[in-house]
Amino acid sequence: MLMAAVCMALLGCLQAQELQGHVSVILLGATGDLARKYLWQGLFQLYLEEAGKSHSFRFHGTALTSTKQGQEVIAKVLESLSCPRDTAPGRCAELKAQFQQLSEYRRLKTPEDYLALSEDIEARVQREGLQEAGRIFYFSVPPFAYAEIARSINSSCRPGPGAWLRVVLEKPFGRDHRSAQQLATELGSFFQEEEMYRVDHYLGKQVVAQILPFRDQNRKALDGLWSRHRVERVEIVMKETVDAEGRTSFYEEYGVIGDVLQNHLTEILMLVAMELPLNISSSEAVLGHKLQAFRALRGLQRGSAVVGQYQAYRGQVRRELQKPDSFHSLTPTFAGILVHIDNLRWEGVPFILMSGKALDERVGYVRILFKDQAYCAQSEKRWVPAQSHCLPQQIIFYIGHGELGGPAVLVSRNLFRPSLPSAGWKEVEGQPGLRLFGRPLSDYYAYSPVREQDAYSILISHIFHRRKDSFITMDNLLASWVFWTPLLDSLAHEVPRLYPGGAENGHLLDFEFSGSHLSFSQPPLEQLVPGLDSAPMPSDFQVLRAKYRDSPLISAWPEELIARLAGDIEAAAVQAVRRFGQFHLALSGGSSPVALFQQLATGHYGFPWAHTHLWLVDERCVPLWDPESNFQGLQAHLLQHVRVPHYNVHPMPVRRRQRLCAEEDQGAQAYAEEISTLVTNGSFDLVLLGMGTDGHTASLFPQSPVGLDGKQLVVLTTSPSGPHRRMSLSLPAINRARKVAVLVMGRMKREIAMLVSRVGREPKKWPISGVLPDSGQLVWYMDYDAFLG
Ligand code: BG6
């Protein structure tokens, strides 16, 4: 009776003795999101393709959920499965019924549950006179559960001798190199590498899987094209419109780099960049060449990346993870990365990797743009797409979605007519008006799969057929983490640029590169509109404008704050040069302005450096070449990168006659004279100050009467911390300035910032409180840590 039922359930009703064996598929986490969306459908597909051939199957959906609940969920999922497009409805219902009969739900929690499952499988196999071929365990569970499950399978649920075991693991495989290694070691103590199938579902995407075959089949045409001599740049992109809502506990740990770049985009990068093995069906050769390409990757620096976070993310994290309102997440939900490959083939070619949530469109592609080397003498209207070398030349592996709506391989007609396997690929039908990457679709040879298939269905079939080349080996995984971990470390404290999400992002996330450095093309938004459901909070604003001690306050995250201050200084410089022909800027030392100097050095091409005079606000009494000297900081982070005429640079004369800051050497008076000679009325165009945790500014310290009033422009002072002797602009000199900017950054400044906000003008106690330009403007620049704590 039972035998008959099984027989009925098999397509074609094969006799048991014809079968090569029985396969049990155990889907762990069978009620979860991934399983419901893709894996059950993939298993159904496997059943449709294989059951009529030589194996019998049984599908065990398992989870921690109670049997009743689990059964209900599974029943619904099985009901919603879909058949291939050309299946008649009646036939589809029949096939689904067969699959449902072979599928069950069971709770799998304790080692005893695993043992019971194993015994059930053995009993069934015996009862039905079958032979066990093997077991597939698909781990669709969070990685923290891996080790426990692996232990139970290994101890109680391995198939008997002669049958195989395959365990399928879903990313994330670690958060960095160390944790990936740890996980690999742990799993390695239960399973052989041969038994493990690490899924990167992008390797199952039809177009991604076509990259190597495409390169192989078009070797001749690509020979002269696939290298630095002809490739201008490569873009590997995965844009999403969805955000991370509902997944923030996962996302907080991995961010966009761990979620997408370290795996999907890196795998694609390798397929494009690796040397092509003679035999692309040899997984050893492919892996070997991949690892070689990994070794050639140039290490990523902090400046190789730009990161962003969509504005609603922080609120979602607070809600979902029950964090207080003061919680700020630094997790990037957007990243643009510039990769270089230091080998003969790719030296100097920029590879741009980009991915993000809450963007304006959903699309994935690899775009290889070739160098434009031609000049066309004929008028543009006579250019023929298939011949003109003046039209862009590109090859695009269009992974899916976007304007085209599905996967395709596109090759500019002026490059060559590619060869694709005629069995699985067809020419894309024209879509009038559709333009891709700046050209009408008709400019490309365009091919798409005859039958679109979901990546998971493809990979499940590969697991069944033991095609390990579509999976991530341990060496491959660790090589990828070796590459990404240093960047993740260097970004750990980086504040991502906030973006509103969707079409409103405008050009806010555009970025550009020069050398190995990547930066956003536009300054950050002044202000973002807060969510409709809440009153505006300070944290809703990218840059907050307010008042502090009755003067304008600009507050923002450090990156935006520095960008804003640099922009304001440049604007003041341009204006001063236009009006007076020169710009006198007095700069403080210390650590806060370093980022500002770097920003000015790299991002402000319009700065009139040739007409700028640089002065020091204060100096330590050490030789100018001493690393502790403020001048050294200026030299290292600004002067060596910009062209300021050397006679416009005015270090403080702390060392005269081989002595440091001796009163009798009159260094302070000499500097004051220099100021009076060169700066009209001794009035600097802009003075940049900081604020110490004790309320000092420049080198004017509390409880020290020097420099707080009187006529002297420059004074010698004593600092409570070493090096003690200082030279400083006096408070009157500072207050003569046209504009004073006070930059205050970091949590350590929070307390003094609060205190100074309440006190009156008491420079003896808090010298900073004496800063108020006589006729100029004072602006406070504080980051959120200093301002809001
Ligand atoms: C997954 C990521 O690996 O890929 C998700 O965890 C992402 O964050 C998804 O949304 C995208 O895959 P696809 O197939 O929809 O492009």
Q: Among the atoms of ligand 1, which is closest to the Cα of residue 240?
A: 10
CATH of the structural domain 548-788, one choice from 3.40.50.1360, 1.20.1200.10, 1.10.10.10, 3.40.50.10140: 3.40.50.1360
The structure tokens listed for 596 are 């500002």
pLDDT in tens, 73-130: 999 999 999 998 888 999 999 999 999 999 999 999 999 999 999 999 999 999 988 8
What residue's CA is closest to ligand 1, atom 2? 259
Is 22 known to be catalytic?
A: no
Q: Specify the domain boundaries for CATH 3.40.50.1360 within the chain.
A: 548-788
Extract the tokens encoding 163: 């049958």
Choosing from 264, 401, 462, 637, the catalytic residue is 264
> Is the shortest distance between the CB of 560 and ligand 1 below 6 Å?
no
pLDDT in tens, 299-315: 998 889 999 999 999 99
Pocket-testing residue among 236, 256, 259, 362, ligand 1, by greatest number of atoms within 8 A of Cβ: 259
**What is the DSSP code string of 17-65?**
GG--EEEEEEEETTTSHHIIIIIHHHHHHHHHHHTTTTEEEEEEEEESS
The Å distance, Cα 511 to ligand 1 centre, comes to: 23
Q: Looking at residue 384, what is its pLDDT? A: 82
What is the distance in A from the centroid of ligand 1 to the CA of 239?
Answer: 10
Q: What is the pLDDT of residues 206-246, one digit of tens each?
A: 999 999 999 999 999 999 999 999 999 999 999 999 999 99
Spatial CA neighbour of 425 closest among 401, 398, 394:
398
Cα(485) to centroid of ligand 1, in Å?
21
Q: Which residue has the tokens 């999403």?
A: 240
200 CB within 6 A, ligand 1: no
How far does residue 453's CA lie from ligand 1's centre (Å)? 16
The domain made up of 203-372+388-491 has a fold known as Dihydrodipicolinate Reductase; domain 2 (3.30.360)
**105-143 burial by CB neighbour count: b if 16+ within 10 A, else e?**
bbbbeeeebbeebbeebeebbeebebebbbbbbbbbbeb
Distance of CA 139 to the CA centre of its chain: 26
Q: What is the pLDDT of residues 628-677, one digit of tens each?
A: 999 999 999 999 999 999 999 999 999 998 999 999 999 999 999 999 99
Q: Which atom of ligand 1 is nearest to the CA of 202?
A: 14
Burial 144-183 (b: 16+ CB within 10 A, else e): eebeebbebbbebbbbeeebbbbbbbbbbbbbbbeebbeb
Ligand 1 atom with least separation from CA of 401: 16
Q: Is residue 535 predicted with pLDDT exceeding 80? A: no
Closest residue by Cα to atom 5, ligand 1, is 259
Please give the C-alpha separations between residue 403 and each of 199, 260, 412, 462, 742, in angstroms, as whole numbers.
28, 22, 17, 30, 49
- Highest mean pLDDT: which of 7-21, 371-385, 656-670? 656-670
Q: Is 267 in the pocket of ligand 1 (CB under 6 A)?
A: no
Residue nearest atom 10 in ligand 1 by C-alpha distance: 240
Which residue of 198, 199, 201, 241 sits with most ligand 1 atoms within 8 Å of its CB, as the best mutation to test the pocket?
A: 201
In the chain, the N- to C-terminal Cα span, in Å, equals: 74
The SS3 assignment for 447 reads: strand
Is residue 15 over pLDDT 80?
no
* Mean pLDDT value of segment 742-770: 94
Residue nearest to atom 13 of ligand 1 (CA): 202
Q: Measured from the CB, is residue 240 less than 6 Å from ligand 1?
A: yes
Atom of ligand 1 nearest to the CA of 200: 3
* Pick from 742, 747, 749, 769: nearest CA to 758: 769
- Residue in 208, 237, 260, 355 to alter for ligand 1 test, most ligand atoms within 8 A of Cβ: 260
Ligand 1 and 259: CB distance under 6 A: yes
Cα–Cα distance between 317 and 329 in angstroms, integer? Answer: 8
pLDDT of residue 530: 39
Instruction: Specify the residue with its C-alpha closest to ligand 1, atom 15.
Output: 240
**Which of 199, 264, 355 most suits a substitution to test ligand 1, by most atoms within 8 Å of the C-beta?**
264
Ligand 1: residue whose CA is nearest its atom 9: 260
CATH of domain 20-170: 3.40.50.720
Q: Where in the chain is the domain with CATH 3.40.50.720?
A: 20-170
